[in-house]
Amino acid sequence: MNPVLPTLYSFRRCPYAIRARLGLLFAGISVELREVVLKHKPPQMLQISPKGTVPVLQLPNGSVIEESRDIMIWALEQGDPQGLLYGGARAEALIERNDSEFKHWLDRYKYFDRHPAMSQTEYRKRGEAFLQTLEQLLDKNSYLLGDRPSTPDIGVMPFVRQFAHVDRDVFYSLPYPHLQAWLKQWLEHSLFVRAMVKYQPWQEGEPKVLFP
């Protein structure tokens, strides 16, 4: 008998969903993947998580984890062979700043036409305050908290990636060489490549898709 796997509702490009998938990959946990079309969210997902955002992880016992940070931590608490779960309050504070302050400015930088209060350049500069913090951390170590990856690395990187992709030429012209090298290293990481494999949108009745 095949074991019942957790079910992950995901969207390939969403940085929150990327974070969750990376947590699962680093933990070595397999799930049934249900790729979501955000304009047509499946009722099965909305039934277990009415807020309607990805990622959502439903465990075999029926419990539901609705936040990407919680999915990442849950996965690594099941297994953490590379020792990402360190840093304590420092790790939590860095991810919290990413999810609040940096995400706020990232959204306005990316969708500046929806937020006419400032120019795109001004939004970018506001977001750079967080990038400067990351650059300072990476000036001292190969990763954000030390000489090996931690939860902030996989928890923050998808958002830095999204910021960089708004205008790659601008991003790589900014004075953050350590951050740029860190991002490039992560984009080439084998687990990130696996996290970004494309899957067809999930439809009920079709064969299950296992991830990874």
Domain assignment of residue 149, yes or no: yes
- The answer on 130 and 68 residing in a single domain is no
Q: What percent of the chain is helix, strand and coil (3-state, nearest 5)? A: 55, 10, 35
Domain assignment of residue 50, yes or no: yes
pTM above 0.75, yes or no: yes
Domain count, the chain: 2
Domain assignment of residue 1, yes or no: no
Domain assignment of residue 2, yes or no: no
Domain assignment of residue 37, yes or no: yes
CATH of the domain at 205: 3.40.30.10
Taking residues 65-73, report their average pLDDT.
98
- The answer on 55 and 42 residing in a single domain is yes
pLDDT tens per residue across span 136-164: 999 999 999 999 999 999 999 999 999 99
Domain assignment of residue 28, yes or no: yes
The number of CA neighbours under 13 Å toward the Cβ of 50 is: 0
Structure confidence at residue 3 (pLDDT): 76
- The answer on 106 and 181 residing in a single domain is yes
Structure confidence at residue 100 (pLDDT): 98
Distance in angstroms (rounded) separating the CA atoms of residues 138 and 65: 31
The average confidence (pLDDT) of the chain is: 97
- The answer on 74 and 31 residing in a single domain is yes
Domain assignment of residue 131, yes or no: yes
1, pLDDT greater than 80: no
In which domain, by residue range, is 63 found? 7-82+193-211
Structure confidence at residue 142 (pLDDT): 96
- The answer on 26 and 61 residing in a single domain is yes
pLDDT band at 82 (very low <50, low <70, confident <90, very high): very high
- The answer on 153 and 197 residing in a single domain is no
Structure confidence at residue 2 (pLDDT): 64
